[in-house]
Amino acid sequence: MGLGTCLAAVPLLPRLGAPAADLTAAPRPVADPNSRVGGELQQLYRLWNTAARGQGPQLAAAFPELTLADGDAVLVRITARNVAALRPALLARGFVVVSDQSKLHFIEGRLPVSQLAPGAAGIEALAAQGLLGVLPVFDPINNAGKVLNQADFVLEAARVRGARPNGYDGTGVRIGVISDSYNALGGAPAGVASGDLPANVQVLLDPATGTDEGRAMIELIHDIAPGAGKAFSAVFQGEANFADQIFKLADPTLGNCKIIVDDISYLNEPMFQDGVIAQAVEEVVATRGVAYYSSAGNYADKSSEYAAPTFTATTGGAADLDFGLSTGAPPTRASRSPLPHRARSAWPFSGATRFTPPMG
């Protein structure tokens, strides 16, 4: 055998230091609509299994709407007939619990991407034990904006603080803030030194990554109510964890907050009924006397717009909205603004319970 033949028989190895493939350009495979695993998770597994093992950052870039941990695990919501009974089998497959909402028939946590394999090779094999579905927990949206705090003037808070004989600066009230992070960027000590932050902010949960928007919110609150106690918690681990942190901030033995504000929106919060977050808000408002406020945000043209719908007359003078079922055709779409991949559905926020102060 000649030297050329020998070299030709040697399999080619990846060149050391070669750049990783650009997975963002790879087309997403078609998902199986009959699977118990959500479409995005099916696509994630197929790309991971064929081209992206060991390429965590590239995989995360290809699926920006999902929450991935080192490319080997993904944040999911698992629904089941009996969560408590199914939990040991989930843990045996490497599932790491973030929040257990057994009473609502779901649990959220990090699942190894390998468990998204179709059929008996993956988590779908637990269907016989009561597994109903595996859905992605999409990354939330925070309502950000770099602005000076003009609320102190608009609300006349400075005048109220200076009122005689007592003045009101928030003393005796604790305010809880929910956002992405507090000190991931390391700027909190400088804020304390400059007087923009109090030195005793209670931090319940703070991830290693984030934009520290929670710290900015506390700086604004501190301008208006410098005497109030402040607490913070991050909620970037799913809706169930969001609800958990609301309860912790309102708990008299933990955050002990009578006012809670958030600027986080999860795109898969239900539109036509209260989800787990809205239910948590309702409970702390009703049982703890908390005043809860959520940032509405300004999404400008990030929405869908349709032509005026038709209505079908009914008895009694009422009219039903015709969704096109009578003709088999959907309502005519007039225009549509470009939305992220994860947001191509009806805007799914819960009702007014996230904006309602306590009664009485």
Helix H, strand E, coil C: the string for 164-183 is CCCCCCCCCCEEEEEECCCC
**Stretch (H or E) spanning 193:** helix 188-194
Average pLDDT (197-211) is 93
CA-to-CA distance for 322 and 331, rounded, in angstroms?
8
Asked if residues 294 and 354 have their Cβ atoms less than 8 Å apart, the reply is: yes
**pTM of the prediction?**
0.67
Model confidence band, residue 317 (pLDDT cutoffs 50, 70, 90) = low
**For domain 39-139, is the CATH number 3.30.70.80?**
yes
pLDDT, one tens digit per residue, over 38-66 is: 988 999 898 888 765 666 677 788 888 88
Quote the percentage of the chain above a pLDDT of 70. Answer: 70
| DSSP secondary structure code for residue 80 in this structure | E
Portions of the chain given CATH number 3.40.50.200? 143-294
11: Cα within 13 Å, side-chain hemisphere: 2
CA dihedral 100→106→111→113, nearest 10 degrees, is -170
Question: What is the model's pLDDT at position 21?
Answer: 52
- Give buried/exposed letters for 25-64 (b at 16+ CB in 10 A, else e): ebeeeeeeeebbbbbbbbbbbbbbeeebeebbebbbebbe
Q: Which residue type is seen at 223? A: D
CA 265 to chain centre: 6
Question: What is the model's pLDDT at position 131?
Answer: 95
What does the block give as tokens for 295? 């940032």
Asked if residues 75 and 136 have their Cβ atoms less than 8 Å apart, the reply is: yes
Pick the CATH number of 143-294 from 3.40.50.10490, 3.40.50.1970, 3.40.50.200, 3.40.50.720: 3.40.50.200
CA-to-CA distance for 238 and 236, rounded, in angstroms?
6
Average pLDDT (142-169) is 69
Question: What is the model's pLDDT at position 323?
Answer: 60
Model confidence band, residue 272 (pLDDT cutoffs 50, 70, 90) = confident
Would you tell me how many other CB atoms lie within 10 Å of the CB of residue 188?
Answer: 22
Q: Give me the numbers of helices (H) and strands (E) for the chain, helices first please.
A: 10, 16
End-to-end Cα, the chain, rounded Å: 93
What is the dihedral sign for C-alpha 268, 76, 247, 88? positive
Asked if residues 196 and 230 have their Cβ atoms less than 8 Å apart, the reply is: no
CA angle 306/336/147 to nearest 5° reads 115
CA-to-CA distance for 350 and 57, rounded, in angstroms?
33
Asked if residues 42 and 118 have their Cβ atoms less than 8 Å apart, the reply is: yes
Model confidence band, residue 321 (pLDDT cutoffs 50, 70, 90) = low
Portions of the chain given CATH number 3.30.70.80? 39-139
What does the block give as tokens for 120? 């008996």
84: Cα within 13 Å, side-chain hemisphere: 3
CA-to-CA distance for 95 and 102, rounded, in angstroms?
16
Average pLDDT (15-42) is 68
Average pLDDT over all residues of the chain = 78
Question: What is the model's pLDDT at position 150?
Answer: 75
Q: Report the length, in residues, of the chain.
A: 360
